[in-house]
Amino acid sequence: MSYTIAGTGYALPKRVVTNGQLSEIVDTSNEWIITRTGIEERRVLTDESLTELALQAAKMAMANAKIKSTEIDLIICATIRSDTITPSLACTIAEHIGCTAPAFDVNAACVGLIYAMEIADSFMASGKAKNVLILTAEAMSKLVDWTDRSTCVLFGDGAGAVVLQPGRSRLACSMQSAANNGSILMPNTEGENSPFNKHKQDKMVVQMDGGEVYKFAVSAFAKRSEEVCAMAGIVPTEIDWILPHQANLRIIDAALKKMGVHKERALTNIHKYGNMSATSIMVLLAEEIERGRFKRGDKLLLVSFGAGLTSGALLIEY
Ligand code: UT7
């Protein structure tokens, strides 16, 4: 027994920030950002909190799944950093929706949704949970250095949610963590106020060696995807739709070329939202379900890579 997708939801900040607006803050241009990444604009939190977005997404997913909060047996939230270190965002949402099921956060950066879905699958397979609410929520605008043009133009904020119920959708999954070697790092210097600690701390912002991560991303994308296809006994060209992590259109194109898959199979929303870490694939999935893109039985590949360095691919039958 595995799961089926019973309902999805998403929520985005109201504030749209265009490439043109960023070029007034850092030395960049609309042309550079579009040609190097495919991003045209992103959403950025202003007066909303990440918790509010996650709550909106959770309510939408529960309404679409026609499920009450008291019927949920487990809540998992994929996030790098929620509004509070404790309680976890999953616990905060549980309280808001009136649910007392176990709730916890998972930090697997951009691969968080796939990790969370695998954890949910284990709980469901062992009979410990029947209805699972998975959330993804990222406030990347609070984590980037707004003076660093090599990172601040890439990211955006958002939240998503999916309700999983017993079914037979999961076909195969492959997840990995590889040596980070400093390629994506964000030191946690919050609360470094101990009088006994005299070490000078780095700035608490995302630092990334873009070129190194690019090479890792293309290779991990293709490898994890080919692994899940082999596990499920299909070839990559049999996948109906690919929902890749939205970090860079060039990464998606290069990985698909490696796999011999036509790029029309890949769905994208990077132009509107940039890279929303764990939330990118979740929002993409929810939007595409909303617009009726998939037929029952379609094979969907969710594939992601990111800080850790983590990577993962999940093949499901819609
Ligand atoms: O979700 C986590 C996973 N993250 C990723 O997967 C990101 C992977 N990496 C990438 O997507 C790409 O490496 C980037 C989009 C981050 C950078 O693209 P690139 O083609 O690798 O550019 P680059 O870093 O090699 O930089 C090329 C040039 C440099 O100038 P010089 O040294 O050639 O004079 C940079 O200083 O572009 C410059 N540059 C910019 N110019 C204008 C870097 N950022 C900008 C910018 N605007 N925003």
Ligand 1 centroid–CA 30 distance in Å is: 14
Ligand 1 in contact with 310 (CB < 6 A)? no
* pLDDT of amino acid 241: 98
Structure tokens at 171: 């076909």
* Catalytic positions: 110, 245, 275
- 181 torsion bin: left (phi>0), alpha (psi -120 to 50), beta (else): left
pLDDT at 200: 67
Q: Which residue has the CA at smallest separation from atom 30 of ligand 1?
A: 150
Q: Is 64 in the pocket of ligand 1 (CB under 6 A)?
A: no
Cα 25 to Cα 138: distance, rounded to the nearest angstrom: 22
Single-letter residue type at 90: A
Report the Cα 177 to chain-centroid distance in Å: 16
Q: How far is CA 120 from CA 51, 133, 165, in A?
A: 21, 9, 10
User: In terms of DSSP bridges, do strands 103-106 and 132-139 run parallel, antiparallel, or are they unpaired?
Assistant: unpaired
**Which residues face 177 on adjacent strands?**
310
Coil, helix or strand at residue 278: coil
Which of 17, 136, 214, 250 for a ligand 1 pocket mutation test, highest count of atoms within 8 Å of Cβ? Answer: 214
Cβ(274) – ligand 1 distance below 6 Å: no
Q: Answer positive or negative: Cα dihedral of 156, 271, 33, 213.
A: positive
Nearest ligand 1 atom to the CA of 245 is 1
In testing the pocket of ligand 1, which one of 30, 36, 277 has its CB within 8 Å of the most ligand atoms? 36
Distance (angstroms) between ligand 1 centre and the Cα of 271 equals 17
Sign of the four-CA dihedral 230, 110, 217, 261 = positive
Crossing angle (nearest 10°) for helices 112-125 and 279-290: 80
Which three-class secondary structure state does DSSP give residue 31?
A: helix
In the prediction, which pLDDT does 1 show?
58
Residues in the chain: 318
Write the residue with the smallest CA distance to atom 12 of ligand 1: 210
110 lines ligand 1 (CB under 6 A): yes
318 Cβ partners below 8 Å, 6+ apart?
5, 169, 294, 295, 296, 297, 298, 299, 300
pLDDT of residue 55: 98
Q: Give distance in angstroms: CA of 260 to centre of ligand 1.
A: 26
Q: Is 210 in the pocket of ligand 1 (CB under 6 A)?
A: yes
Residue-level pLDDT at 197: 76
Is the shortest distance between the CB of 213 and ligand 1 below 6 Å?
Answer: yes
Mean pLDDT by 10 residues, the chain (318 residues): 93 98 97 98 97 98 98 98 95 98 98 98 96 98 96 98 97 96 86 73 87 96 98 97 98 98 97 98 98 97 97 98
Determine whether the shortest distance from the Cβ of 183 to ligand 1 is under 6 A: no
